Structure 1
Amino acid sequence: MRFVRSGGDGGGEESANLYVANCGPAVGVALAEVAAAFGVFGEVAAVHPADGSGSRVVVCFADASSSRAAMAAWGGTAPCPALGGRALHLRYSVSRPPSPPPPDALSVALDAEELALPGLLLAKDFITPDEETELLAEVDARPWRRLAKRRVQHYGHVFMYETRNVDPSLPLGDLPAFLSNLLLRIASFAQLSAEEDDEAGTARVFDQVTVNEYPPGVGISPHIDTHSAFTGPILSLSLAGPCVMEFRQHSPPARKAIFLPPRSLLVMSGDARYAWHHYIPHHKVDFVRGEAVRRGARRVSVTFRKVRSGPCRCRHHQLCDSQSGGSAGR
Protein backbone atom coordinates (compact mmCIF):
# COMPACT_ATOMS: atom_id res chain seq x y z
CA MET A 1 0.00 0.00 0.00
CA ARG A 2 1.01 3.61 -0.40
CA PHE A 3 -0.25 6.76 1.31
CA VAL A 4 -1.60 9.92 -0.31
CA ARG A 5 -2.95 13.20 1.00
CA SER A 6 -6.64 13.21 1.68
CA GLY A 7 -8.59 15.90 -0.17
CA GLY A 8 -11.10 18.41 1.10
CA ASP A 9 -10.95 21.21 3.65
CA GLY A 10 -9.86 21.05 7.26
CA GLY A 11 -7.18 18.42 6.68
CA GLY A 12 -9.21 16.03 4.50
CA GLU A 13 -10.70 12.63 5.24
CA GLU A 14 -9.81 11.65 8.81
CA SER A 15 -7.47 8.69 9.32
CA ALA A 16 -4.78 7.44 11.71
CA ASN A 17 -2.10 8.71 9.32
CA LEU A 18 -0.83 12.25 8.81
CA TYR A 19 0.88 13.63 5.70
CA VAL A 20 3.47 16.12 6.98
CA ALA A 21 5.21 18.58 4.64
CA ASN A 22 8.35 20.63 5.40
CA CYS A 23 9.61 17.69 7.42
CA GLY A 24 12.14 14.97 6.57
CA PRO A 25 15.82 14.23 5.91
CA ALA A 26 16.08 16.74 3.03
CA VAL A 27 15.30 19.60 5.43
CA GLY A 28 17.45 18.26 8.24
CA VAL A 29 14.86 16.26 10.21
CA ALA A 30 15.58 12.56 10.66
CA LEU A 31 12.67 10.10 10.60
CA ALA A 32 13.50 9.09 14.18
CA GLU A 33 13.15 12.73 15.26
CA VAL A 34 9.75 12.90 13.58
CA ALA A 35 8.60 9.74 15.40
CA ALA A 36 9.80 11.10 18.75
CA ALA A 37 8.12 14.47 18.24
CA PHE A 38 4.74 13.03 17.24
CA GLY A 39 4.98 10.36 19.94
CA VAL A 40 3.64 12.85 22.49
CA PHE A 41 0.18 12.34 20.94
CA GLY A 42 0.16 8.52 21.07
CA GLU A 43 1.87 5.43 19.75
CA VAL A 44 3.61 6.04 16.43
CA ALA A 45 3.57 2.79 14.43
CA ALA A 46 5.87 4.05 11.67
CA VAL A 47 7.17 7.09 9.82
CA HIS A 48 7.58 6.74 6.03
CA PRO A 49 8.89 9.08 3.32
CA ALA A 50 5.83 10.42 1.50
CA ASP A 51 7.68 10.57 -1.83
CA GLY A 52 11.17 10.89 -3.22
CA SER A 53 11.63 14.54 -2.22
CA GLY A 54 12.92 13.85 1.28
CA SER A 55 10.95 16.82 2.64
CA ARG A 56 7.55 15.16 3.19
CA VAL A 57 6.69 12.21 5.44
CA VAL A 58 3.69 10.15 6.52
CA VAL A 59 3.31 9.61 10.27
CA CYS A 60 1.31 6.44 10.98
CA PHE A 61 -0.33 6.34 14.43
CA ALA A 62 -1.76 3.23 16.06
CA ASP A 63 -5.19 4.89 16.22
CA ALA A 64 -7.02 7.89 14.81
CA SER A 65 -7.41 9.65 18.19
CA SER A 66 -3.64 10.32 18.18
CA SER A 67 -3.67 11.82 14.68
CA ARG A 68 -6.64 14.02 15.68
CA ALA A 69 -4.69 15.29 18.69
CA ALA A 70 -1.64 16.05 16.53
CA MET A 71 -3.78 17.79 13.93
CA ALA A 72 -5.43 19.91 16.62
CA ALA A 73 -2.08 20.90 18.12
CA TRP A 74 0.10 21.41 15.04
CA GLY A 75 -2.35 21.60 12.13
CA GLY A 76 -2.54 25.40 12.08
CA THR A 77 0.10 27.98 11.31
CA ALA A 78 1.89 27.90 14.68
CA PRO A 79 5.50 26.62 14.64
CA CYS A 80 6.17 23.12 15.99
CA PRO A 81 8.12 23.44 19.27
CA ALA A 82 9.25 19.80 19.25
CA LEU A 83 11.05 20.23 15.91
CA GLY A 84 12.93 23.45 16.51
CA GLY A 85 10.04 25.77 15.71
CA ARG A 86 9.64 24.40 12.17
CA ALA A 87 6.33 25.32 10.51
CA LEU A 88 4.67 22.04 9.48
CA HIS A 89 1.91 21.50 6.95
CA LEU A 90 -0.39 18.65 8.03
CA ARG A 91 -3.16 16.79 6.28
CA TYR A 92 -4.74 13.43 6.93
CA SER A 93 -3.35 10.67 4.74
CA VAL A 94 -5.29 7.65 3.50
CA SER A 95 -3.99 4.41 2.02
CA ARG A 96 -4.43 3.71 -1.67
CA PRO A 97 -3.48 0.71 -3.79
CA PRO A 98 -0.22 1.38 -5.62
CA SER A 99 -0.51 2.65 -9.18
CA PRO A 100 0.57 -0.05 -11.60
CA PRO A 101 3.69 0.80 -13.61
CA PRO A 102 3.23 1.14 -17.37
CA PRO A 103 3.65 -2.16 -19.25
CA ASP A 104 6.94 -1.03 -20.83
CA ALA A 105 8.47 0.26 -17.57
CA LEU A 106 12.13 -0.59 -17.07
CA SER A 107 13.52 -2.13 -13.93
CA VAL A 108 15.22 0.81 -12.20
CA ALA A 109 18.56 0.33 -10.47
CA LEU A 110 19.35 2.10 -7.19
CA ASP A 111 23.12 1.69 -7.58
CA ALA A 112 25.36 1.95 -10.63
CA GLU A 113 26.84 -1.49 -9.96
CA GLU A 114 23.45 -3.07 -10.71
CA LEU A 115 23.55 -1.77 -14.28
CA ALA A 116 26.98 -3.21 -15.15
CA LEU A 117 27.47 -0.28 -17.54
CA PRO A 118 31.22 0.40 -17.92
CA GLY A 119 32.18 3.90 -16.82
CA LEU A 120 29.00 4.69 -14.86
CA LEU A 121 29.31 5.70 -11.21
CA LEU A 122 26.72 7.09 -8.76
CA ALA A 123 27.95 8.67 -5.53
CA LYS A 124 24.99 9.19 -3.20
CA ASP A 125 25.00 12.03 -0.64
CA PHE A 126 27.99 13.61 -2.37
CA ILE A 127 27.00 16.85 -0.64
CA THR A 128 25.09 17.54 2.58
CA PRO A 129 21.55 18.99 2.80
CA ASP A 130 23.03 22.30 4.00
CA GLU A 131 25.42 22.40 1.03
CA GLU A 132 22.50 21.65 -1.29
CA THR A 133 20.53 24.57 0.17
CA GLU A 134 23.52 26.88 -0.26
CA LEU A 135 24.09 25.82 -3.88
CA LEU A 136 20.44 26.36 -4.78
CA ALA A 137 20.52 29.81 -3.18
CA GLU A 138 23.64 30.71 -5.17
CA VAL A 139 22.22 29.68 -8.53
CA ASP A 140 18.84 31.29 -7.80
CA ALA A 141 20.64 34.57 -7.07
CA ARG A 142 21.99 34.58 -10.65
CA PRO A 143 20.17 35.23 -13.93
CA TRP A 144 18.57 32.31 -15.74
CA ARG A 145 18.27 31.86 -19.49
CA ARG A 146 14.84 30.53 -20.43
CA LEU A 147 14.53 27.74 -23.00
CA ALA A 148 11.29 26.27 -24.32
CA LYS A 149 10.62 24.03 -21.31
CA ARG A 150 13.34 24.74 -18.74
CA ARG A 151 15.80 27.36 -17.48
CA VAL A 152 19.60 27.17 -17.76
CA GLN A 153 22.78 28.91 -16.66
CA HIS A 154 26.20 28.51 -18.32
CA TYR A 155 29.61 29.14 -16.80
CA GLY A 156 33.07 29.01 -18.36
CA HIS A 157 31.69 28.59 -21.88
CA VAL A 158 28.22 28.94 -23.37
CA PHE A 159 26.77 25.65 -24.53
CA MET A 160 25.24 26.18 -27.99
CA TYR A 161 22.19 23.94 -28.27
CA GLU A 162 21.95 24.39 -32.05
CA THR A 163 25.31 22.65 -32.60
CA ARG A 164 25.59 20.81 -29.24
CA ASN A 165 29.03 22.36 -28.88
CA VAL A 166 30.86 25.36 -27.43
CA ASP A 167 32.93 28.09 -29.05
CA PRO A 168 36.34 27.88 -27.32
CA SER A 169 37.24 31.32 -28.70
CA LEU A 170 34.41 32.94 -26.68
CA PRO A 171 35.03 32.00 -23.04
CA LEU A 172 32.87 33.45 -20.26
CA GLY A 173 35.76 33.59 -17.80
CA ASP A 174 36.60 31.53 -14.76
CA LEU A 175 34.01 29.34 -13.08
CA PRO A 176 32.20 31.16 -10.22
CA ALA A 177 33.65 31.07 -6.71
CA PHE A 178 30.61 29.32 -5.23
CA LEU A 179 31.65 26.16 -7.12
CA SER A 180 35.25 26.17 -5.84
CA ASN A 181 34.81 23.80 -2.89
CA LEU A 182 32.72 21.44 -4.96
CA LEU A 183 35.36 21.38 -7.71
CA LEU A 184 38.07 20.60 -5.16
CA ARG A 185 36.04 17.71 -3.80
CA ILE A 186 35.45 16.38 -7.32
CA ALA A 187 39.16 16.68 -8.20
CA SER A 188 40.08 14.52 -5.21
CA PHE A 189 37.33 11.98 -5.86
CA ALA A 190 39.28 8.71 -5.76
CA GLN A 191 36.86 6.83 -8.01
CA LEU A 192 37.15 9.36 -10.84
CA SER A 193 39.59 7.58 -13.14
CA ALA A 194 41.44 8.82 -16.20
CA GLU A 195 39.68 8.62 -19.53
CA GLU A 196 40.82 6.64 -22.54
CA ASP A 197 41.10 9.82 -24.64
CA ASP A 198 42.15 12.39 -22.02
CA GLU A 199 44.19 15.23 -23.46
CA ALA A 200 47.36 14.96 -21.36
CA GLY A 201 45.30 14.01 -18.31
CA THR A 202 43.41 17.30 -18.14
CA ALA A 203 39.90 15.85 -17.86
CA ARG A 204 39.63 16.59 -14.14
CA VAL A 205 40.19 20.33 -14.71
CA PHE A 206 36.58 21.17 -15.55
CA ASP A 207 36.06 24.50 -17.30
CA GLN A 208 32.42 24.38 -18.43
CA VAL A 209 29.38 24.12 -16.18
CA THR A 210 25.71 24.06 -17.13
CA VAL A 211 22.95 24.42 -14.56
CA ASN A 212 19.54 23.10 -15.65
CA GLU A 213 16.25 23.60 -13.83
CA TYR A 214 13.58 21.03 -14.69
CA PRO A 215 9.95 21.69 -13.70
CA PRO A 216 7.68 18.65 -13.16
CA GLY A 217 7.19 16.61 -16.31
CA VAL A 218 10.24 17.99 -18.14
CA GLY A 219 13.29 15.90 -18.97
CA ILE A 220 15.91 15.71 -21.73
CA SER A 221 15.83 13.87 -25.03
CA PRO A 222 18.21 10.93 -25.69
CA HIS A 223 21.69 12.17 -26.59
CA ILE A 224 25.43 11.60 -26.23
CA ASP A 225 27.43 14.68 -25.26
CA THR A 226 29.32 15.59 -28.43
CA HIS A 227 32.69 13.83 -28.55
CA SER A 228 34.46 16.72 -30.31
CA ALA A 229 33.17 19.27 -27.80
CA PHE A 230 34.28 17.76 -24.49
CA THR A 231 37.03 15.48 -23.24
CA GLY A 232 36.93 13.08 -20.34
CA PRO A 233 34.04 12.27 -18.03
CA ILE A 234 30.77 14.17 -17.75
CA LEU A 235 29.56 14.74 -14.17
CA SER A 236 26.06 15.70 -13.05
CA LEU A 237 25.03 16.71 -9.53
CA SER A 238 21.29 16.39 -8.74
CA LEU A 239 19.69 18.98 -6.46
CA ALA A 240 16.20 19.53 -4.99
CA GLY A 241 14.36 16.63 -6.60
CA PRO A 242 14.85 13.04 -7.81
CA CYS A 243 14.45 11.52 -11.26
CA VAL A 244 15.13 8.38 -13.25
CA MET A 245 17.75 8.51 -16.00
CA GLU A 246 17.74 6.00 -18.84
CA PHE A 247 20.68 4.80 -20.92
CA ARG A 248 20.10 3.51 -24.44
CA GLN A 249 22.34 1.63 -26.82
CA HIS A 250 21.30 1.13 -30.43
CA SER A 251 23.59 -1.70 -31.49
CA PRO A 252 22.86 -4.14 -30.01
CA PRO A 253 19.60 -2.60 -28.71
CA ALA A 254 19.60 -2.18 -24.93
CA ARG A 255 18.00 0.03 -22.27
CA LYS A 256 18.97 0.55 -18.65
CA ALA A 257 17.67 2.91 -15.97
CA ILE A 258 18.93 4.30 -12.66
CA PHE A 259 17.33 6.38 -9.90
CA LEU A 260 19.11 9.67 -9.15
CA PRO A 261 18.29 10.94 -5.64
CA PRO A 262 18.92 14.54 -4.59
CA ARG A 263 22.54 15.35 -3.66
CA SER A 264 23.91 12.46 -5.72
CA LEU A 265 26.77 12.82 -8.21
CA LEU A 266 26.55 10.85 -11.46
CA VAL A 267 29.81 10.20 -13.31
CA MET A 268 29.66 9.15 -16.97
CA SER A 269 32.99 8.01 -18.39
CA GLY A 270 34.13 5.34 -20.83
CA ASP A 271 31.26 3.51 -22.54
CA ALA A 272 28.63 5.28 -20.43
CA ARG A 273 29.86 8.64 -21.70
CA TYR A 274 30.87 7.83 -25.30
CA ALA A 275 28.66 4.94 -26.44
CA TRP A 276 25.32 5.15 -24.62
CA HIS A 277 22.66 7.80 -25.07
CA HIS A 278 21.31 9.17 -21.80
CA TYR A 279 17.77 10.40 -21.36
CA ILE A 280 15.40 11.73 -18.68
CA PRO A 281 11.80 10.76 -19.56
CA HIS A 282 9.34 13.62 -19.86
CA HIS A 283 6.83 12.71 -17.16
CA LYS A 284 5.98 13.65 -13.58
CA VAL A 285 6.07 10.22 -11.93
CA ASP A 286 8.82 7.60 -12.05
CA PHE A 287 8.21 3.97 -11.11
CA VAL A 288 11.00 2.66 -8.91
CA ARG A 289 10.86 -0.89 -7.58
CA GLY A 290 7.07 -0.93 -7.79
CA GLU A 291 6.63 2.47 -6.14
CA ALA A 292 5.41 5.63 -7.86
CA VAL A 293 7.91 8.43 -7.07
CA ARG A 294 6.71 11.94 -7.88
CA ARG A 295 9.49 14.26 -9.00
CA GLY A 296 8.49 17.28 -6.95
CA ALA A 297 8.28 21.00 -7.71
CA ARG A 298 11.71 21.26 -9.37
CA ARG A 299 14.92 19.41 -10.06
CA VAL A 300 18.20 21.26 -10.62
CA SER A 301 21.24 19.59 -12.15
CA VAL A 302 24.79 20.98 -12.21
CA THR A 303 26.80 19.42 -15.06
CA PHE A 304 30.60 19.61 -15.22
CA ARG A 305 32.55 19.22 -18.47
CA LYS A 306 36.04 19.85 -19.87
CA VAL A 307 36.23 21.63 -23.26
CA ARG A 308 38.30 19.67 -25.78
CA SER A 309 41.19 21.36 -27.57
CA GLY A 310 41.82 18.69 -30.22
CA PRO A 311 39.98 15.85 -32.00
CA CYS A 312 38.53 12.94 -30.07
CA ARG A 313 40.39 9.66 -30.47
CA CYS A 314 38.06 7.33 -28.59
CA ARG A 315 37.48 3.75 -29.74
CA HIS A 316 33.80 4.32 -30.59
CA HIS A 317 34.50 5.41 -34.16
CA GLN A 318 30.96 5.17 -35.53
CA LEU A 319 29.56 7.31 -32.70
CA CYS A 320 32.38 9.87 -32.74
CA ASP A 321 31.85 13.02 -34.79
CA SER A 322 35.62 13.71 -34.77
CA GLN A 323 36.27 10.40 -36.54
CA SER A 324 33.09 9.93 -38.58
CA GLY A 325 33.14 13.46 -40.00
CA GLY A 326 29.45 13.94 -39.25
CA SER A 327 27.02 14.35 -36.38
CA ALA A 328 27.43 10.87 -34.92
CA GLY A 329 26.53 10.64 -31.28
CA ARG A 330 24.38 13.76 -31.22
Structure 2
Amino acid sequence: MTGQLALFPEDRPDGLQYAAEFVSPLLERELIGRISALPLQPFQFGVFEGKRRVASFGFRYDYTLQRLQPAEPIPDWLRPLIEKVEAYGGPPTQIAQVLCTEYEVGVGIGWHRDKRHFDRIFGLSMGSACKFRFRRAVGEKWQRYTLEAAPRSLYMMSGESREAWEHSIPPVEAKRYSITFRTMADRKS
Protein backbone atom coordinates (compact mmCIF):
# COMPACT_ATOMS: atom_id res chain seq x y z
CA MET A 1 0.00 0.00 0.00
CA THR A 2 2.92 2.36 -0.45
CA GLY A 3 0.96 4.22 -3.16
CA GLN A 4 -1.77 4.95 -0.63
CA LEU A 5 0.35 6.67 2.04
CA ALA A 6 -0.66 10.20 2.91
CA LEU A 7 1.77 13.05 2.52
CA PHE A 8 1.01 16.13 4.61
CA PRO A 9 -2.43 14.77 5.61
CA GLU A 10 -3.44 17.97 7.40
CA ASP A 11 -2.92 20.24 4.38
CA ARG A 12 -6.24 21.52 3.09
CA PRO A 13 -6.22 21.80 -0.71
CA ASP A 14 -5.77 25.37 -1.94
CA GLY A 15 -9.10 26.81 -3.00
CA LEU A 16 -11.22 24.63 -0.69
CA GLN A 17 -13.45 26.67 1.60
CA TYR A 18 -15.94 25.47 4.19
CA ALA A 19 -18.83 27.17 6.00
CA ALA A 20 -20.53 25.34 8.88
CA GLU A 21 -24.24 25.95 9.54
CA PHE A 22 -24.76 27.58 6.14
CA VAL A 23 -28.51 26.96 6.40
CA SER A 24 -30.79 26.60 9.43
CA PRO A 25 -32.22 23.26 10.58
CA LEU A 26 -35.66 24.47 9.47
CA LEU A 27 -34.45 25.31 5.94
CA GLU A 28 -32.57 22.00 5.81
CA ARG A 29 -35.82 20.09 6.53
CA GLU A 30 -37.65 22.14 3.89
CA LEU A 31 -34.96 21.50 1.28
CA ILE A 32 -34.87 17.76 2.02
CA GLY A 33 -38.65 17.71 1.57
CA ARG A 34 -38.35 19.53 -1.77
CA ILE A 35 -35.63 17.16 -3.01
CA SER A 36 -37.59 14.10 -1.86
CA ALA A 37 -40.58 15.31 -3.91
CA LEU A 38 -38.51 15.64 -7.12
CA PRO A 39 -38.67 12.94 -9.81
CA LEU A 40 -35.21 11.70 -8.83
CA GLN A 41 -33.58 9.24 -11.23
CA PRO A 42 -30.57 6.92 -10.80
CA PHE A 43 -27.37 8.71 -11.81
CA GLN A 44 -26.51 7.68 -15.39
CA PHE A 45 -22.94 7.63 -16.68
CA GLY A 46 -23.01 6.03 -20.11
CA VAL A 47 -24.38 2.49 -19.89
CA PHE A 48 -23.77 2.40 -16.13
CA GLU A 49 -26.21 3.39 -13.44
CA GLY A 50 -25.13 4.80 -10.09
CA LYS A 51 -26.91 4.05 -6.83
CA ARG A 52 -27.46 7.69 -5.94
CA ARG A 53 -30.57 9.40 -7.29
CA VAL A 54 -30.39 12.84 -8.87
CA ALA A 55 -32.22 15.69 -10.56
CA SER A 56 -30.32 18.24 -12.69
CA PHE A 57 -31.36 21.80 -13.41
CA GLY A 58 -29.98 24.33 -15.90
CA PHE A 59 -27.66 21.78 -17.51
CA ARG A 60 -26.85 18.08 -17.22
CA TYR A 61 -23.82 16.24 -18.51
CA ASP A 62 -24.68 13.49 -21.00
CA TYR A 63 -22.03 10.78 -20.63
CA THR A 64 -23.08 9.04 -23.85
CA LEU A 65 -22.74 12.19 -25.96
CA GLN A 66 -19.91 13.52 -23.76
CA ARG A 67 -21.29 17.03 -23.62
CA LEU A 68 -23.59 19.31 -21.69
CA GLN A 69 -27.26 19.20 -22.50
CA PRO A 70 -30.01 21.59 -21.43
CA ALA A 71 -31.95 20.40 -18.38
CA GLU A 72 -35.12 21.57 -16.66
CA PRO A 73 -35.00 25.22 -15.58
CA ILE A 74 -33.78 25.88 -12.03
CA PRO A 75 -36.89 25.85 -9.81
CA ASP A 76 -37.98 29.06 -8.12
CA TRP A 77 -37.72 27.46 -4.65
CA LEU A 78 -33.93 27.28 -5.15
CA ARG A 79 -33.53 30.97 -6.05
CA PRO A 80 -33.12 32.36 -2.48
CA LEU A 81 -30.54 29.66 -1.71
CA ILE A 82 -28.69 30.35 -4.97
CA GLU A 83 -28.52 34.05 -4.02
CA LYS A 84 -26.98 33.09 -0.68
CA VAL A 85 -24.44 30.77 -2.37
CA GLU A 86 -23.56 33.46 -4.92
CA ALA A 87 -23.03 35.98 -2.09
CA TYR A 88 -20.74 33.48 -0.35
CA GLY A 89 -18.78 33.00 -3.61
CA GLY A 90 -18.48 36.75 -4.10
CA PRO A 91 -18.58 38.68 -7.36
CA PRO A 92 -18.94 37.57 -10.14
CA THR A 93 -20.37 34.21 -8.97
CA GLN A 94 -23.27 33.14 -11.16
CA ILE A 95 -24.74 29.69 -10.59
CA ALA A 96 -25.82 28.08 -13.88
CA GLN A 97 -26.24 24.42 -12.92
CA VAL A 98 -27.75 22.68 -9.91
CA LEU A 99 -27.70 18.98 -9.04
CA CYS A 100 -29.90 17.61 -6.25
CA THR A 101 -28.75 14.22 -4.96
CA GLU A 102 -30.13 11.61 -2.58
CA TYR A 103 -27.71 9.09 -1.04
CA GLU A 104 -29.29 6.07 0.65
CA VAL A 105 -27.38 4.34 3.48
CA GLY A 106 -24.33 2.59 2.02
CA VAL A 107 -24.14 4.78 -1.10
CA GLY A 108 -21.15 6.99 -1.91
CA ILE A 109 -19.44 8.39 -4.97
CA GLY A 110 -16.10 7.30 -6.39
CA TRP A 111 -13.00 9.35 -7.13
CA HIS A 112 -13.56 12.00 -9.80
CA ARG A 113 -13.21 15.62 -10.86
CA ASP A 114 -16.25 17.55 -12.01
CA LYS A 115 -16.44 18.08 -15.77
CA ARG A 116 -14.26 20.80 -17.32
CA HIS A 117 -17.36 22.70 -18.44
CA PHE A 118 -17.81 23.87 -14.87
CA ASP A 119 -15.67 26.26 -12.86
CA ARG A 120 -16.36 26.66 -9.14
CA ILE A 121 -18.31 23.96 -7.33
CA PHE A 122 -20.38 24.58 -4.19
CA GLY A 123 -21.98 21.76 -2.24
CA LEU A 124 -24.60 21.93 0.50
CA SER A 125 -24.59 18.80 2.67
CA MET A 126 -27.84 17.82 4.40
CA GLY A 127 -29.37 15.01 6.41
CA SER A 128 -26.19 13.42 7.70
CA ALA A 129 -22.50 14.14 7.87
CA CYS A 130 -20.08 12.72 5.33
CA LYS A 131 -16.39 12.40 4.79
CA PHE A 132 -15.54 14.48 1.74
CA ARG A 133 -12.20 13.02 0.65
CA PHE A 134 -9.58 14.64 -1.57
CA ARG A 135 -6.48 13.17 -3.18
CA ARG A 136 -3.83 14.10 -5.70
CA ALA A 137 -0.83 12.23 -7.01
CA VAL A 138 2.55 13.31 -5.68
CA GLY A 139 5.10 11.15 -7.43
CA GLU A 140 4.09 7.55 -6.76
CA LYS A 141 2.12 8.42 -3.62
CA TRP A 142 -1.11 10.22 -2.83
CA GLN A 143 -1.50 13.43 -0.91
CA ARG A 144 -4.82 13.20 0.91
CA TYR A 145 -7.19 15.41 2.84
CA THR A 146 -10.58 14.64 4.41
CA LEU A 147 -13.16 17.32 5.09
CA GLU A 148 -15.75 16.33 7.67
CA ALA A 149 -18.82 17.86 6.02
CA ALA A 150 -21.46 18.38 8.70
CA PRO A 151 -25.17 18.65 7.93
CA ARG A 152 -26.15 22.16 6.79
CA SER A 153 -22.58 23.01 5.79
CA LEU A 154 -21.38 24.38 2.46
CA TYR A 155 -18.06 23.73 0.78
CA MET A 156 -16.60 25.54 -2.21
CA MET A 157 -13.97 24.10 -4.55
CA SER A 158 -12.00 26.44 -6.76
CA GLY A 159 -8.45 26.65 -8.07
CA GLU A 160 -6.25 23.67 -7.13
CA SER A 161 -8.93 21.92 -5.06
CA ARG A 162 -11.08 21.91 -8.18
CA GLU A 163 -8.48 21.27 -10.90
CA ALA A 164 -5.61 19.28 -9.34
CA TRP A 165 -7.42 17.20 -6.71
CA GLU A 166 -9.95 14.40 -7.16
CA HIS A 167 -12.73 14.00 -4.60
CA SER A 168 -15.02 11.21 -3.41
CA ILE A 169 -17.49 10.32 -0.67
CA PRO A 170 -17.30 6.87 0.93
CA PRO A 171 -20.60 5.03 1.56
CA VAL A 172 -22.69 7.11 3.95
CA GLU A 173 -23.88 5.68 7.26
CA ALA A 174 -27.22 7.54 7.24
CA LYS A 175 -29.40 8.98 4.49
CA ARG A 176 -27.83 12.10 3.02
CA TYR A 177 -28.92 14.78 0.59
CA SER A 178 -26.83 17.33 -1.22
CA ILE A 179 -27.34 20.25 -3.54
CA THR A 180 -24.40 20.98 -5.83
CA PHE A 181 -24.19 24.43 -7.39
CA ARG A 182 -21.85 25.01 -10.33
CA THR A 183 -20.62 28.07 -12.19
CA MET A 184 -19.62 27.70 -15.83
CA ALA A 185 -16.02 27.73 -17.05
CA ASP A 186 -15.01 30.36 -19.60
CA ARG A 187 -13.76 27.74 -22.07
CA LYS A 188 -16.04 26.45 -24.79
CA SER A 189 -17.26 22.85 -24.63
TM-score, length basis structure 2: 0.83
Specify whether residues 162 and 220 from structure 1 end up closer, same or farther in structure 2 by C-alpha distance, changes over 3 A only: farther
Which residue number in structure 2 is paired with residue 153 of structure 1? 55
Which residue number in structure 2 is paired with residue 180 of structure 1? 79
* Structural mapping, 1:101-250, within 5 Å: 115-147=11-43, 148-162=50-64, 165-167=67-69, 171-189=70-88, 192=89, 201=92, 204-227=93-116, 229-231=117-119, 233-250=120-137
Q: Distance in 1 between matches of 2:5 and 2:21?
A: 26
The Cα of 1:127 is off from its aligned counterpart by 0.1
Q: Which amino acid aligns with 2:187?
A: G
Q: Distance in 2 between matches of 1:122 and 1:213?
A: 21
2:12–2:145: 8 Å Cα contact kept in structure 1? Answer: no
Structure (1/2) with the larger strand percentage: 2
Partner deviation per Cα, 1:247-276 (whole Å, 9 max, x = no partner): 010134311111111000010011001110
The Cα of 1:225 is off from its aligned counterpart by 1.0
The Cα of 1:187 is off from its aligned counterpart by 1.7
Bigger relative CO (Cα 8 Å, ≥ 6 apart): 2
* Structural mapping, 1:15-94, within 5 Å: none
Partner deviation per Cα, 1:264-318 (whole Å, 9 max, x = no partner): 0010011001110001123x5xxxxxxxxxx22x10110011234534xxxxxxx
Give the fraction of aligned pairs with identical amino acids, expressed as a percent.
33
The Cα of 1:193 is off from its aligned counterpart by 5.4
Q: Distance in 2 between matches of 1:163 and 1:128?
A: 39
Q: Distance in 2 between matches of 1:278 and 1:164?
A: 20
1:271 paired to 2:173: no
Q: Distance in 2 between matches of 1:164 and 1:132?
A: 33
Partner deviation per Cα, 1:37-94 (whole Å, 9 max, x = no partner): xxxxxxxxxxxxxxxxxxxxxxxxxxxxxxxxxxxxxxxxxxxxxxxxxxxxxxxxxx
The Cα of 1:163 is off from its aligned counterpart by 6.2
1:159–1:166: 8 Å Cα contact kept in structure 2? Answer: yes
User: What SS does the corresponding residue of 1:150 show, helix, strand or coil?
Assistant: strand
Specify whether residues 216 and 260 from structure 1 end up closer, same or farther in structure 2 by C-alpha distance, changes over 3 A only: same
Which residue number in structure 2 is paired with residue 300 of structure 1? 177
1:247–1:256: 8 Å Cα contact kept in structure 2? Answer: yes
Partner deviation per Cα, 1:157-181 (whole Å, 9 max, x = no partner): 12324466413xxx23531111111
Q: How many residues are matched?
A: 176
Find the partner of 1:260 among 143, 149, 160: 149
User: Could you say which structure has the larger radius of gyration?
Assistant: 1
User: What SS does the corresponding residue of 1:115 show, helix, strand or coil?
Assistant: coil
* Segment of structure 1 superposing worse, 211-220 or 302-311: 302-311
TM-score, length basis structure 1: 0.49
Q: Which amino acid aligns with 1:183?
A: I
Specify whether residues 242 and 142 from structure 1 end up closer, same or farther in structure 2 by C-alpha distance, changes over 3 A only: same
Q: Distance in 2 between matches of 1:308 and 1:218?
A: 29
The Cα of 1:124 is off from its aligned counterpart by 0.4
